[in-house]
Structure 1
Amino acid sequence: MSSSGLKRKADSQENAPGQPRTKLPAIAEADTNVPLRPSRTAANRAAVGKGPPPLTKPKAPPLSTSTTRRYERATSAPPKIAPVRPPARPTSARPTATRPTTTRTTRAASGSAATQDKRFQALQDQVQSIESARAADTARLAADMERERAKLSELEENHMALTRELAAARTQEMTHKRELVDASDEMEQMRKRHAREMDELEAQMRRRDREIRELKDELRVCLDDLERERQTVSTLKSTIAHQSDAQLSLTTQVAAMKAQIDALQGQLSTSSVSNSTLVLQLETERKRVAELERETLEAETIRRKLHNMVQELKGNIRVFCRVRPILPSDLTPAALVKSSSSASSLSTTPTPEPEDAERLKGEAMAQIVFPDKMDHKEIVLHSSSESATGQERKDEWTFSFDRVFEPHSTQMEVFEEISQLVQSCTDGYNVCVFAYGQTGSGKSFTMEGGHTDATVGMIPRAVDQVFKVTDDLRRKGWEYKMEGQFLEIYNETINDLLGKGEFDKKKHEIKHDARTGRTTVTDVNVVALRSPAQVRTLLAQAQSRRTVAATLMNERSSRSHSVFTLRIRGENAQTREVCEGSLNLVDLAGSERLEKSGAAGDKDRLRETQNINRSLSALGDVIAALGEKGEGKSDKHIPYRNSKLTYLLQNSLSGNSKTLMVLNLSPLATHLNESLCSLRFATKVNNTTIGTAKKQSRPAITA
């Protein structure tokens, strides 16, 4: 702490209330000629309210709650004053014994009191002089403080002015710097622009120099050309002189050519007339060809309609035969050998090389001939074998059906033949199309097809056809509602392929309505159909749930019968007519022999094969019974209840439906015996009379 601070602290403690008053210095030690300096506290008190307030406020020292330290100004004790003794009175010769003792004592006391009064008076005068000197010092100090405050105010004002000037100078400096930077940028841009202009001027000068050189070259060339032209002109002049004689002869030739042109123009006019006649004849022939083609199409349509009418009147089940092509899996050497190897070993057999494909195809292909190239109704099978005596034996079997499709036939060609039959369900007929054949003959491909548009099967194509026909009939006042169901008959058990639960959880029963001819199955999921895309989704769902397994005959053999039923109900508001029809599309399980399929070693496959063959045998019994009944044996019992399959198809086989069987054959020579069995069964079906299909229609019920 500085000395001034200590002095200020001491002065504040001196004048603080509650503190003992500082003792004055001793009179003997005080200098009466030197005026006393007023204390800083007094000067500060005199200056209160005058001048600017202090810049900082002094902070009071902290107080202690335990002990209060008191700072007192150190004062010196007053000097000891020796008692003033009165001057010694001169001794006389008179004896002192003449005065009494009390008189001397009284006088001495009065003299001492007078002396003390004088001293006190002198002390008071000294105190007053000290007080006046202190007041003078205080006044002088206040004046000095006032002058210092004025100087301080002036200095602060000068400081503020200098600060403002400094800020203004800094602002101006920043402005100058920005202007300098802008000027530098502008100078740099001007330099760049000047450099670009210089470059452009130099490039322009170079271009001008190049143009000047080119013009000089062109001028030189032009001068050379001019010289050559002058020489040419002179040459031409001489040539013209020589050609003047030739002009006369040329004029004569021109006249002759004009005469020849006139003759050619006459010939051209004659040719144009002849050409116009030919064009008219060609147009006439084209129209005639178009009319003939249209008549041919109409005749074909009429032929199909008449064919359907004949079939309806005849009452037979129509039969189509389709032979599938050779597949790559059929060309493997293991597929050509009659062995008992497992289906897994067949699936892992490598594909033959391309050069061996034709040889393997010739070895694998059975001798099948299609002699009817016009109507495509016949199929002939040939077989040659050696007897025990070594003689060659040749056999030939000829079969005739409503339509025979060769291996190269497409799905579209097959569907074109049944499209009119499928369309009958929109007119109120019950239509049934079922695929029959041995395992691996292509039944599922025919009915369900592949994943491309060209390989789509009969079921999705039939649904598309029905939706297309109903859309066309809506313009004639018809409104249709369609619903579908998809069932599976596996081991004589009906499963709902469109259901959400597990198989064999519900017991489904088949019921026939004798009045309406409608067949229903209890507790099955019937879905309302609104578009062909929805039907394809349902078919994919059903196909994923269908029971399949691998056998020696087919790697993915259908081990169940599938029945897709499309019910359609139409109503015409104009004619007040209502019709109800149904379309049953059936994919039968493949018929196979136990020794061929290799199912004898597997208990599940054995049971499946036995049930499949039993249901197909029941179908054959029904067909045979229907044939005998059609021959006049009216009391013949039809065993529909021997199988769930025949009982479900009772209305389709009993004459109340248009029925078509698509027989699928394998082209392999190893399957010749199974193909012959299937052909004989199809012939029996084709010769069976079941009656005439009836249209299910009635007038609309008015409200």
Structure 2
Amino acid sequence: MAGPNIASSSTGTTTSLKRKAATQENIGGPEHPRKLAAIAEADTNQPLRPSKFAPNTAASRLGKGPPPLTKPRAPTLSTSAGANGVRRTMRATSAPPKTAPVRPPARPTSRATTTARPTAASAANDQRFDSIQQQISKIEEARAADAARLDAELAQERAKRSDLQASHEALSRELTNAKTQELAQRQELFIASDELNSLRQRHEREISELQADLRRKDRELRELNEDLRMYQSDLERERETVRGLKATIAQQATAQVSLTAQLGALQAEKAAVQVEFDRTCGSKADLALQFERAQKRIAELECETREGEMVRRKLHNMVQELKGNIRVFVRVRPVLRSDIVSSTLHSSGSSVGAITDGADSPDLQEEAKRREEAMAKLVYPDKMDHREIVLKSSSESATGQERKEEWQFAFDRVFEPHSSQAEVFEEISQLAQSCTDGYNVCVFAYGQTGSGKSFTMEGGASETSAGMIPRAVEQVFRVADELKSKGWQYKMDGQFLEIYNETINDLLGKGEFDKKKHEIKHDPKTGRTTVTDVNVVPLASATQVRTLLALAQGRRTVAATLMNERSSRSHSVFTLRIRGENTLTGETCEGSLNLVDLAGSERLEKSGAGGDRERLKETQNINKSLSALGDVIAALGEKGEGKGDKHIPYRNSKLTFLLQNSLSGNSKTLMFLNLSPLATHLNESLCSLRFATKVNNTTIGTAKKQAKQIA
């Protein structure tokens, strides 16, 4: 790389020298040609050169002066050697001559002076002209001497230039040789560098291999040391084991003697056991035969049990059908302390304080007297079957004579005021059994406000006061658990609805009421009734049902009337759906249990709802739905008597339309008639008893079992 750099540097040097010489040639370099001295200076040997800047003033001012004596020549070119020995030709220049200005002659003042002065002036001019002539000749001589001198210098410069060119060519050849040598040295240097790099890499590889071997040797050394420590510890353990074995051998040797004695005893026992074993093997065949017979007997009993279960279901259904697919139970509630106080308020208020003041020490005689006065005359003549109830009333006629009236009614069961919740449920427990058999069951409570419908259906918080709904659910779960041993598996879910002012509300819903529009749909093929957009909760235990009942009670619509402080202003319907499957027989069944708590039937003058617009509307809707229920039952009775294809007005009310399948013969229906024992409610009780008698005399057909055989 040095060769090209040197050549380029020499070329650049030559070019710079040429540019420098040209620059000096244009602007006048360091070696300018000598300038001629001015004419007015003391040196008169220099030739005179006319100046274009300072013309002959005297001649111009005097008009036509004398012509120049000599013709001016162009300046001669002078050659000078530059810094690099190259001769340059330069044009000589000179400064304009410094001549004294010639003053014009003064204007004549008078005619006399103008004639005398021209002669003196001519003489002076001639002298000056001679001196000028001499100066010009001197200048010419000096110029000739300068030209000769310049020619000699130019020849010297040319000789120097030729010498410089010769030396330049020699330097160029040396430079070329130096470049060639440099290229050869560079190639050798590159080869040596490659060899050095390869040697360095091989050296590094050898070093890395040696280091890897060293590390491997160190690792092997550590592993060997670790193995050595392990072997030493194993050796110590083995030594300890050997010492222990030696001690054990010593002990075993001692125990061998006792074992030998024991062996003799054991051999004797073995002989006895062998005899017993032979005898056992003989009885084993007998036991195997007995076991086989027992298995066959078990299979026969299981088959008989399944057949017996089917027969039980059929007989149970036959018994329920013989009792009637629609039955009416009457329950009279006991007289409450609040009833005594309210009845006393209607009469004289003098003895009220004796009953209400002092809860710890009431006047028992006065309370018993008021209780007897408040009660209506109810008689239960059938002490055996408890199926009859008689109402008696006495009044004075317009003539002052005592008039006695008596009304006698007969139903499927009559519960007196002292009957407990367990006794009431005992009569309907068989209906809960029918749900697990695949039948639809409907139980609804009917009666006036304050007659105990909600207590009968829902009950209280304790176990003894639990109502029909929690007891029926517990019965269903208990029967389902008992049938698991016979191959039945059940799934249950429940829903709780409210019908308020002909609007269906979901008591188990999460949002507010009347936000969703619920519709009732009946499936004629399966006989199933569904309500759209309601929460259906899967049930896993009877305890969960109690929680749902508590939630629904808090959301149900109640209000205070003159007849009840917490009167139910709506109908509530709890539905429990049961789906069962028998994995042994392949049979499936599906049933439902509808437990309905109807709103109280009442008169406006009795309940005092006529003064409140909202209570009035509620009472009108309640009475309308209960009237529609009576119309449906009446139509069913006429149809059962064979009076043709009677239209059943189910759609007149949301209540009857929801209970259509429960009242149309596809369900086992039970009506609870709740009565108040108070004499003031006698007319309401008579109306309720007459309606219950109409229901009890109605025939709605035979219930159908919702079951099928799995293919």
TM-score normalised by length of structure 2:
0.54
Counterpart of 2:705 (choices 686, 695, 700) is: 695
Q: Could you tell me which residue of structure 1 aligns to residue 370 of structure 2?
A: 360
Which residue is 1:591 aligned to?
Answer: 601
Contact 1:331–1:357 at 8 Å: present in 2 too?
A: yes
**Residue 412 (structure 2) pairs with residue 402 (structure 1):** yes
Deviation at 1:334, TM superposition (A): 4.7
Cα pair 1:313 1:692 within 8 Å, conserved: no
Q: Partner of 2:327 in structure 1?
A: 318
Distance, in Å, in 2 between the alignment partners of 1:608 and 1:574 is: 52
Change (3 A) 1:350 1:330: farther
Cα distance in 1, alignment partners of residues 431 and 498 from structure 2:
24
Describe the superposition over 1:299-352 as per-residue Cα deviations: whole angstroms up to 9, x where unpaired.
xxx99997962551575410000000011111105566289x9xxxxxx99977
Alpha-carbon separation, structure 2, partners of 1:427 and 1:384: 49
* Alignment CA distance shift 1:513-1:486 (3 Å): same
Hey, what's the Cα distance between the residues in 1 that align with 2:610 and 2:623? 14
1:13-32, Cα deviation, whole Å (9 max, x unpaired): xxxxxxxxxxxxxxxxxxxx
Match of 2:163 in 1: none
Q: Secondary structure at the match of 1:621?
A: helix
Corresponding residue SS for 1:475: helix
Q: Is the aligned partner of 1:491 residue 2:504?
A: no
Query: Given residue 607 of structure 2, which amino acid in structure 1 is its aligned partner?
Result: S
* Rounded Cα–Cα distance in structure 1 between residues aligned with 2:662 and 2:442: 6
* Matched residue, 1:131: none
CA contact (8 A) 2:325 2:703 kept: no
Query: Does 2:629 match 1:619?
Result: yes
Alignment of structure 1 residues 412-491 onto 2, 5 Å: 412-491=422-501
For residues 333-384 of structure 1, the C-alpha deviation after alignment (integer angstroms, 9 at most, x for no partner) is 5566289x9xxxxxx9997743321011010010000010100000001000
2:517 equivalent in structure 1:
507
Please give the alpha-carbon distance, in whole angstroms, between the structure 1 residues aligned to 2:344 and 2:575: 36
In the superposition, relative to structure 1, how do residues 680 and 657 fare at CA in structure 2: closer, same or farther (>3 Å)?
same
Tell me what 1:331 maps to.
Answer: 340
Counterpart in 1 of 2:99? Answer: none
Q: Judge conservation of contact 2:635–2:646 (CA < 8 Å) in 1.
A: yes
CA distance in 2, matches of 1:360, 1:371: 25
**Aligned counterpart, 1:670:** 680
Alignment map for 1:64-463 (pairs within 5 Å): 309=318, 311-312=320-321, 315-334=324-343, 337=346, 353-463=363-473
The 1:349–1:545 alpha-carbon spacing in structure 2 relative to 1, beyond 3 Å, is: farther
- SS at structure 1 position matched to 2:486: coil
Q: Which amino acid aligns with 2:331?
A: R
Give the AA of the match of 1:524: V
> Counterpart amino acid of 1:320?
F
For the 8 Å contact 2:317–2:434, the answer to whether it is kept is no
CA distance in structure 1 between the aligned counterparts of 2:673 and 2:514, rounded to whole angstroms: 31
Partner of 2:86: none
Contact 2:327 2:412 in 1 (8 A): yes
Distance 2:380 2:314 in 1: 25
SS at match of 1:371: coil
Equivalent position of 2:588 in the other structure: 578
TM-score (norm. length: structure 1): 0.54
Contact 2:502 2:654 in 1 (8 A): yes
Residues 526 and 304 of structure 1: is their aligned pair in 2 closer, same or farther, counting only changes over 3 Å? Answer: closer
Letter in 1 for 2:695: V
- Verify the 8 A CA contact 2:388 2:410 in the aligned structure 1: yes
The residue type paired with residue 406 of structure 2 is E
Are the equivalent residues in 2 in contact too, given 1:579–1:696 (CA < 8 A)?
yes
Amino acid at match of 1:442: G
Partner of 2:668: 658
1:333 & 1:558 partners in 2: Cα distance? 20
Alpha-carbon contact 2:344-2:370 (below 8 Å) kept? no
**Which has the bigger relative contact order, CA under 8 A and spacing at least 6?**
1
Instruction: Report Cα offsets for 1:88-146 as digits up to 9, x if no partner.
Output: xxxxxxxxxxxxxxxxxxxxxxxxxxxxxxxxxxxxxxxxxxxxxxxxxxxxxxxxxxx
Name the amino acid aligned to 2:377.
Q
CA displacement at 1:668 relative to structure 2: 0.3
Map 1:19-30 to 2 at 5 A: none
Larger Rg: 2
Work out the CA distance in 1 between the residues paired with 2:628 and 2:553. 25
Structure 2, unpaired ranges of 5+: 1-310, 350-355
2:691 is matched with: 681
Contact 1:315 1:655 in 2 (8 A): no
Deviation at 1:458, TM superposition (A): 0.3
Cα distance in 2 between the residues matched to 1:421 and 1:311: 8
RMSD: 2.3
1:566 is paired with a residue of what secondary structure? strand
Aligned equivalent of 1:224: none
Corresponding position of 1:634: 644
Contact 2:442-2:593 within 8 A present in 1 as well: yes
What letter corresponds to residue 457 of structure 1 in structure 2? G
The residue that corresponds to 2:7 in the other structure is: none
Change (3 A) 1:417 1:670: same
Taking the aligned partners of 2:312 and 2:687, their CA distance within structure 1 comes to 32
Residues 410 and 496 of structure 1: CA distance in aligned 2, closer, same or farther (over 3 Å): same
Runs of 4+ more than 4 Å apart: 302-308, 313-316, 333-336, 348-352
Counterpart position of 2:201: none
Check the 8 A contact 1:369/1:379 in 2, yes or no.
yes
Q: Verify the 8 A CA contact 1:315 1:693 in the aligned structure 2.
A: no
Letter matched to residue 579 of structure 1: C
Amino acid at match of 1:606: L
Structure 1 pair 635–357 and aligned structure 2 pair: CA distance change class (3 A): same
Report if the CA contact (8 A) 2:343-2:374 is conserved: no
Q: Percent identity?
A: 81
Cα distance in structure 2, aligned partners of 1:559 and 1:450: 19
User: Is contact 1:449–1:457 with CA below 8 Å preserved after alignment?
Assistant: yes
Amino acid at match of 1:625: A
How much does 1:634 deviate? 2.7
Q: Is the 8 A contact 1:551 1:599 kept in 2?
A: yes
Classify 1:336/1:682 alpha carbon distance in 2 versus 1 (closer, same or farther; 3 Å): farther
Name the SS for the 2:585 alignment partner.
coil
C-alpha change, 1:311 and 1:574, in structure 2 (3 Å) is closer
Structure 1 residues 333, 565: closer, same or farther in 2, change over 3 A?
Answer: closer
* 1:178-229 CA-partner distances (Å, limit 9, x unpaired): xxxxxxxxxxxxxxxxxxxxxxxxxxxxxxxxxxxxxxxxxxxxxxxxxxxx
d(CA) in 2 for partners of 1:364, 1:336: 11
Match of 1:542 among 532, 549, 552: 552
Secondary structure of 1:332's aligned partner: helix
Count of aligned positions: 394
CA–CA distance in 1 between the matches of 2:565 and 2:482?
Answer: 43
Provide the rounded CA distance (Å) in 1 between the counterparts of 2:469 and 2:439: 17
Q: Tell me which residue corresponds to 1:521.
A: 531
Task: Go from structure 1 to structure 2 and tell me whether the alpha carbon gap of 1:382 and 1:305 turns closer, same or farther (over 3 Å shift).
Answer: farther
Q: Is the 8 A contact 2:609 2:616 kept in 1?
A: yes
**AA at the equivalent of 1:554:** N
| Structure 1 residue 621 displacement after superposition | 0.2
Counterpart code for 2:433: Q
Q: Give the conservation status (yes or no) of the 8 Å contact 1:317–1:689.
A: yes
8 Å Cα contact 1:498/1:542 also seen in 2 = yes
Q: Distance in 1 between matches of 2:328 and 2:313?
A: 15
Gaps of at least 5 residues in structure 1 are 1-301, 342-347
Partners of 1:634 and 1:464 in 2: how far apart? 42
